[in-house]
Amino acid sequence: MAPRRYGVAPVASIQRLWNGKLVEDFIEADTLRFMADTDIQLHGNVSADTLAAIEWSGYCHEGGEVLPRPGKEEMTMSEEKTTGAQAPEQEAPGGSGLKLEVAARPIEPIKNLVGFASVKFNDCFVVEDFKILQSDKGLFVGMPSKPDKSSKYGYRDTAKPITAEFRKELHGAILEAYQQEVEKLQARAAAVRQTPPPEKESIKGQLESGAKKAAKEKAARAPKEKPCLLYTSPSPRD
């Protein structure tokens, strides 16, 4: 039996639980509460970025709790009823409904960094500087970030999903685009390897070809006409 603070994930691995849930089971409210709790554990207070995400999602942070605002509460209660032992709801085609256009760029590996990507949302907003990274467990996506000395890892994300569902959708789209670009590069490299290099003509052959070409050009040229010289007889006085 796994300890109470741990659970068995769908892939049969034991993972730590948060408030009795796996990360895969989080709803929007759980994600926001986790973000606020993490900030408090690391910095002693909730960061301005997390508060902005909470406000944008229709919640507020009061008394150490993430609470739904009026008009949001009914939907939250409905979400809570559909979680737990019941089968998760199937996402509508397209997941979030956002149009994601990803441009990925593989690079020569720099430590565990293997590529970059940018994402255009609904043809009206672009986020750049996503990083594609390689780990022992495979590829994963690093969010755009900037240096932050107060952060545990020295960097702070400047853009990030706030729900597990959209994070999965976004990361999947980025990794798929990266893999497609890698396959294109591999196909080009294979085509180059299969194309035999042109045979290099020997020096003797080059000289013979040059002589033949010169003779052909000379034969094609019309012969020059010699100038006609007029002869005049000397005058009688001479």
Q: What is the CATH number of the domain that holds 105?
A: 3.30.1120.40
Domain range holding 28? 6-82
| Helical spans, DSSP H, in 106-163 | none
Indicate if 117 and 63 belong to the same structural domain.
Answer: no
* Residue 215 within a domain: no
* Residue 94 within a domain: no
Indicate if 73 and 104 belong to the same structural domain.
Answer: no
* Residue 111 within a domain: yes
0.85 exceeded by pTM? no
* Residue 214 within a domain: no
Tell me if residue 64 falls in helix, strand or coil. coil
Indicate if 56 and 120 belong to the same structural domain.
Answer: no
* Residue 167 within a domain: yes
The dihedral built from the CA positions of residue 161, 166, 169 and 173, taken in this order, carries a sign that is: negative
* Residue 174 within a domain: yes
* Residue 225 within a domain: no
Distance CA 15, CA 8 (A): 6
Indicate if 105 and 71 belong to the same structural domain.
Answer: no
35: left (phi over 0), alpha (psi -120 to 50) or beta: alpha
Distance CA 132, CA 117 (A): 7
Number of domains in the chain: 2
**Per-residue pLDDT of the chain in tens (238 residues, 90 and over written 9):** 444 444 444 444 555 666 666 666 667 777 778 778 887 878 788 887 777 777 777 778 887 787 887 665 444 434 444 443 333 333 434 567 889 999 999 999 998 999 999 999 999 999 999 999 998 889 999 999 988 888 777 888 899 898 999 999 999 999 999 999 999 999 888 888 877 766 666 777 777 887 888 888 877 776 666 666 655 666 666 5
Contact 115, 188 (CB under 8 A): no
Indicate if 18 and 64 belong to the same structural domain.
Answer: yes
